[in-house]
Structure 1
Amino acid sequence: MTLIDLFFCALALAAAVPVLVLAAQVVASLPPLRPAPMAARRPSLAVLVPAHDEAGQIAATVAALRPGLGPGDRLLVVADNCRDATAVAARTAGAEVVERHDPERRGKGYALDAGYRHLARTGLPETLVVVDADCALAPAALDRIARLSAALDGPVQAAYRLEPPPQASSALRLATFATVVKQIGRPLGGSRLGWPCGISGTGFAVPTRLLATVGLANGHLAEDLKLGLDLALAGHPPRFCPQAEVTSALPAGAAARRAQQTRWEHGHLSLILPYAGRLLRAALHRGDARLAAMALDLCVLPLVTLALAEAGLAGLALAWWALGGGAGPLLITAASLAILVLALCLAARRWGRGLVRWQDLAAAPRLVAGKAGILARFAVRRQTDWVRTERAGEGPTMG
């Protein structure tokens, strides 16, 4: 075996690791979800809602959250660089409001930091719950994640479900399936394996004392994922709570979906190199396997992106074999692709039932082309500025 063969084999084996992690998570997620007892003690809490130009729906969000509040709890809306009546609408609906104006420091991380600092000045509760302005978190779910966070003394993430709009296209149904696997299926499987989960940015609870150990004020595209990784490195890996669900609508417009996917994927990809190594080193240094699990989970790309990467590597291995190279890389990549296809079929059976149909696969090439464009832009000119996702009925909005 030549040195080039050894290099290709090592590369193929490294690329197979995320596939094996995904397969393990999918298999562990297959059994039905069982009810879980509610943790006994309910901490004092504040619900923090970062909002940028959300005047059209902030009142409904506040109204949905208020029934879940107990005596002494607070509901704080951070109207962040708003150009509309978000602050007025939130106050009218009964929320406490902080207005932040700093166009040079844009992004959700800065809004979270402003809200946390306001709470610290005016009376910090035991637990902070973050809910995005376009999401719905039922009172029972709010209560559950707050209690579980207090019981574990650590961050807790609810199951984040993105709902497709009525009469969704095949491409949109496939995209919805992919997000369900990413936000619910994989975290559920990981939690059953004893692994931590990432933070999805909405519907999470964290003891406020832990926030002093991490920096909230940043404009990173994936500030939610970054926060979960920072908390893990500080010794507090987030846990998943599948019995609590936070919901939001998947953007119906193609441009809005592309903007959202670009932000998520560029943000995720930009965190892999800085954090995977740090997590593995911390896992070895502290003897904490949970951090190693988070590093492996971080390296699992979104489904279509992962499939593209594996298929591309298999194509290279096939070309090398056809040119007279060894068969080892081709065998490894072929096995990896087979495991990935099997994992996707199992995931579709468990998480795609009632959501995707066989005929929806006809839209897969269009979905793959879109993902390829997102990856190409990451390699050539990656997105670094936070862009607000366009809501239904709006025009494109920068934030």
Structure 2
Amino acid sequence: MGDYIFSTTFAFQMFVFILTLYYLVLSMFGFYRKKEKKNYEPNKRFAMIVAAHNEEVVIGNLIDSLQKQDYPKELYDVFVIADNCSDRTAEIARKHGANVFERSDKEKRGKGYALEWMFDKIFKMDKKYDAVAIFDADNLVCQNFLKEMNSKMCQGYKVVQGYIDSKNPYDSWITQSYSVAFWSANRMFQLARANLGLSNQIGGTGFALDLEVLKKLGWGATCLTEDLEFTCKLVLNGSKVGWAHDAIVYDEKPLTLKESWNQRKRWMQGFTDVSSRFFFKLIKKAFKDKDFIAFDCALYVIQPFVTLLLAVSLVLTLAQNYSEQGLHIYVISYMFLNYVWVWKLFSVFQFLLTPFVMLKDNKLSKKLFTMLAIYSLSVFILPELLQGNKDMLVIAAVNIIYTISFFAVTYLLLGKKSYLIFFRYVLLYGFYTLTWIPITIQGILNKNNKEWSHTKHVRQIGIYEV
């Protein structure tokens, strides 16, 4: 029985390891920027569309940032969909110069339906546009956004995603965790794939879409992650999403764990729905056409299930490591039993990977990165301090003292802001990451629930403040 358990867990753990290694290797290609030949000659005409539901607090600042684009005024227009609003969203949007279309449909609620409704109106307008650019009401948009999108679309891309940044990264530990996750994804997922010639993923906001392609494929509003669904359609039709690293859109992140939980659950519901409908189509195309872009996209859409695989792998590893008798479970670290230092170095590398991304994109100071790097050496330092002591209370006490000492030194040397970033990353970002497990389970179980849950936005931040 022990051999059977070992063989089964060996096959499972190696599968998870290979899948994780695939993502890790791809992410390494995000640490450099290719030199781009950008054509900023204005060419494309854009309809900039905002779907807004009761967004009177934030809609004005967004429209102001859209009106200040460094792009010929005659080549773009701003449209706001006041979708089932009961506040002053439409009134404020008009005052700030947007073209406002009010929509009232209690049955077909949500961003996807609102956009599809607006696209139909854009198609029928006398004034013709080459592309639409989509934004959420809480966004702020950098001045060169349309210039960057124009450049990419002139290169031949039919859909281009911009860099989604955060306009409130330090409001709470949740907003910081969100921001860190997005900063990492922008580099290690989006830029990495752009460098390799793979398809990027539409991020729900801050992207431009060719109107002819939109007419051909149709938007589709049946899913909670309609952006992911459209990405799959695009890849299945032989195209891919481009990436504009310098087209920055600032997004407001949820302030509380409850708001974050509801939003991420909605994402996982949509992911599960899309994966059930597109995974096998993408895999079929990948093998039939020898299309690695389709294969990579197929792996991305099964993200909820990859999360569960990683969770099971973690549980198996913990069960084996903390069992006194040993459960005959295979653990990857067995491969390094005679080279423990290799595993420790990998742990340091893994811990510093995200801070290094933040350093590359000027989201973290060199001093704070250095402090995190020294802290990460705990995998080498603590065993020396413990000298083989296996008393759990002693181990816990040494770890606590070590961590608190770093908190104190960071506060004294680098100040309160750096201390908060350090504290939240070391103690809370890992917890945020673990919450994806129950959220994913909920999302999978509720994948057929298509009811849209609105995230309330409360921060009045102007583009000059970010």
- Give the TM interval when normalised to the shorter protein: 0.7 to 0.9
Alignment partner of 1:160 out of 160, 164, 177: 164
Report the structure number with the largest CA radius of gyration: 2
Taking the TM superposition and a 5 Å limit, the aligned residue runs for 1:212-231 are: 212-231=215-234
Alignment partner of 1:290 out of 289, 293, 312: 293
Q: 1:93 and 2:96 equivalent?
A: yes
> 1:317–1:330: 8 Å Cα contact kept in structure 2?
no
Question: Offset at 1:160?
Answer: 0.8
Q: What corresponds to 2:451 in structure 1?
A: 385
AA paired with 2:133? V
Alignment partner of 2:436 out of 348, 367, 371: 371
Question: Offset at 1:144?
Answer: 1.1
Does 206-215 or 179-188 show the bigger shift? 179-188
Question: Offset at 1:104?
Answer: 0.9
Taking the TM superposition and a 5 Å limit, the aligned residue runs for 1:139-158 are: 139-158=143-162
Paired residue secondary structure (2:140): strand
Question: Offset at 1:205?
Answer: 0.9
Give the distance between the partners of 2:336 and 2:9, measured in 1 at CA: 10
> 2:44–2:75: 8 Å Cα contact kept in structure 1?
no
Question: Offset at 1:344?
Answer: 5.0
Q: 1:57 and 2:58 equivalent?
A: yes
Q: What corresponds to 1:345 in structure 2?
A: 352
> 1:185–1:351: 8 Å Cα contact kept in structure 2?
no
Which ranges in structure 1 are unaligned for 5 or more consecutive residues? 395-399
Q: 1:361 and 2:426 equivalent?
A: yes
Give the distance between the partners of 2:89 and 2:213, measured in 1 at CA: 29
> 2:175–2:254: 8 Å Cα contact kept in structure 1?
no
Question: Offset at 1:325?
Answer: 4.3
Paired residue secondary structure (2:435): helix
Q: What corresponds to 2:138 in structure 1?
A: 134
> 1:44–1:73: 8 Å Cα contact kept in structure 2?
yes
Paired residue secondary structure (2:209): strand
Give the distance between the partners of 1:32 and 1:61, measured in 2 at CA: 29
AA paired with 1:134? D
AA paired with 1:99? E
Give the distance between the partners of 2:324 and 2:302, measured in 1 at CA: 27
Q: What corresponds to 2:247 in structure 1?
A: 244
Does 27-36 or 269-278 show the bigger shift? 27-36
Give the fraction of aligned pairs with identical amino acids, expressed as a percent.
Answer: 20
> 1:233–1:279: 8 Å Cα contact kept in structure 2?
yes
Does 292-301 or 282-291 show the bigger shift? 292-301
Deviations 1:194-213 (CA, angstroms, capped at 9, x unpaired)? 21111001111111000123
In structure 2, the CA distance between the partners of 1:322 and 1:27, relative to structure 1 (3 Å rule), is farther
Q: What corresponds to 1:208 in structure 2?
A: 211
> 1:138–1:246: 8 Å Cα contact kept in structure 2?
yes
Give the distance between the partners of 2:142 and 2:195, measured in 1 at CA: 24
Aligned pairs, how many?
393
Q: 1:122 and 2:131 equivalent?
A: no
Q: What corresponds to 2:38 in structure 1?
A: 37
Question: Offset at 1:373?
Answer: 3.2
Deviations 1:282-339 (CA, angstroms, capped at 9, x unpaired)? 1222332211122233345699877545413534676999666474777589999996
Give the distance between the partners of 1:378 and 1:175, measured in 2 at CA: 18
Taking the TM superposition and a 5 Å limit, the aligned residue runs for 1:311-330 are: 311-315=314-318, 325=328, 327=330
Paired residue secondary structure (2:263): helix
In structure 2, the CA distance between the partners of 1:339 and 1:265, relative to structure 1 (3 Å rule), is farther
Question: TM-score w.r.t. structure 2 length?
Answer: 0.73
Question: Offset at 1:145?
Answer: 1.0
Q: What corresponds to 2:25 in structure 1?
A: 24
AA paired with 1:351? M
> 1:146–1:205: 8 Å Cα contact kept in structure 2?
no
Deviations 1:222-277 (CA, angstroms, capped at 9, x unpaired)? 12222212222122211111121111121223322222222223322443343232
> 2:29–2:192: 8 Å Cα contact kept in structure 1?
yes
Question: TM-score w.r.t. structure 1 length?
Answer: 0.84
AA paired with 2:106? P
AA paired with 2:440? L
> 1:160–1:184: 8 Å Cα contact kept in structure 2?
no
Which ranges in structure 2 are unaligned for 5 or more consecutive residues? 366-417, 461-466
In structure 2, the CA distance between the partners of 1:142 and 1:86, relative to structure 1 (3 Å rule), is same
AA paired with 1:161? D
